[in-house]
Amino acid sequence: MNLSVLFVMVMLYTMCFQVLKTQQLQVGFYRTNCSNAESIVRQEVERAFFFDDKGIAAGLIRLHFHDCFVRGCDGSVLIDSTPNNVAEKDSPANGISLRGLDVIDRAKARLEAACRGVVSCADILAFAARDSTEITKGIGWPVPAGRRDGRVSLAAETVALPPPTFNVTQSTQAFANKGLSQKDMVILLGAHTVGRSHCTSFSKRLYNFSPTTSQDPSLDPFFAWFLKSQCPLDGQGNIDPNSVVQMNRSPNLQDNSYYADISAHRVVLTSDETLNSNSQTLSLVNEYASNNTKWLIDFAGAMVKMSKIGVLTGTAGEIRSNCRVINP
């Protein structure tokens, strides 16, 4: 091989590498063009958490998950419906259960004032999920950034989100569809150590389980009694659609108590309870129940993995100027 061929090959390799590099997410992505980006998001998350509602942290972590599982982490969960389109946020899987949208709006408004057209809504969600984890005493992570925003949001596509009625095989498949392992799933489900659930997400387990038994036999009986007291039926046999219960005893604290709750059959969702029914997931549940630090570290790693699902980078998509509206 002569020298000029070698030179061209080296040049091509370098160019390819640079293209690849620019297409990948990078920690500190906004360092040069919007150096306060991460601190502005952080301030808005802290303001909401400390002065408004502690449950916002759980809401923001879930929002990032719901963004990433539908069309990738592209901010599509934030887009409002229009007369011609029902968006993801108005699907039954999201609807009244989403929290934290206004925190994203406030962060975005400040970011547009500070550095117009630079910081994507998808990245704001990723930063806010990390900040929410730290603020609830979890372990944070450097957020790889550079996501761009999608221009499509369809309620019908939220079928990619596993419902709370899924068994372990079905949930594992839903995560595999997004390139995540069963172990990633068990780790990420630990997010259910914070936040709340609407009674309607699990009421079938209390009142209408099967033709032969009204109550799910896998539920701890005392816990079932407690849940019924929080989610009573009205005179017509209906549950108030706005009634909620905490996910566990410490809904604003990232800790491994969720895993102990699973072993004790004191988790509200079928999809959580069902981790008991598979030897691999059960052994992970036991491992994380006995080692809080390991779970906190592994959770940070799994969140980074989740945050890379189907991202748009480079010149794909856009930087929305209002997270609720696709740019004209």
Q: Which helix (H) or strand (E) holds 152?
A: none
Q: 234: annotated binding-site residue?
A: no
Give least dist CB 3 to ligand HEM, A: 53
Give least dist CB 122 to ligand HEM, A: 16
Helix axes 101-114, 121-135, angle to 10 degrees: 120
Residues with Cβ within 8 Å of 207's Cβ and at least 6 positions away in sequence, in order, are 214, 215, 228, 233
DSSP 224-293: HHHHHHHS-B-TTS-B-TT-EEESSS-TT--STHHHHHHHTT--S-HHHHGGGGSHHHHHHHHHHHT-HH
| The one catalytic residue among 64, 66, 198, 265 | 66
Q: 76: annotated binding-site residue?
A: yes
Token output for 274 = 């069902």
Q: 193: annotated binding-site residue?
A: yes
Q: Report the interface residues with ligand HEM, using CB under 6 A.
A: 55, 58-59, 61-62, 65, 97, 99, 162-164, 166, 171, 188-189, 191-192, 194-198, 201, 269, 271
Residue 141, number of CB atoms within 10 A of its CB:
20
Q: Which is nearer to ligand HEM, 65 or 141 (CB)?
A: 65
Q: Which is nearer to ligand HEM, 145 or 189 (CB)?
A: 189
Q: Which is nearer to ligand HEM, 199 or 289 (CB)?
A: 199
Q: Which is nearer to ligand HEM, 29 or 65 (CB)?
A: 65
Q: 70: annotated binding-site residue?
A: yes
Give least dist CB 240 to ligand HEM, A: 13
Q: Which helix (H) or strand (E) holds 37?
A: helix 37-51
Q: 317: annotated binding-site residue?
A: no
Give least dist CB 264 to ligand HEM, A: 19
Residue 163, number of CB atoms within 10 A of its CB:
16
Active site residue 64: no
Active site residues: 66
Binding positions are: 67, 70, 72, 74, 76, 88, 162, 192-193, 255
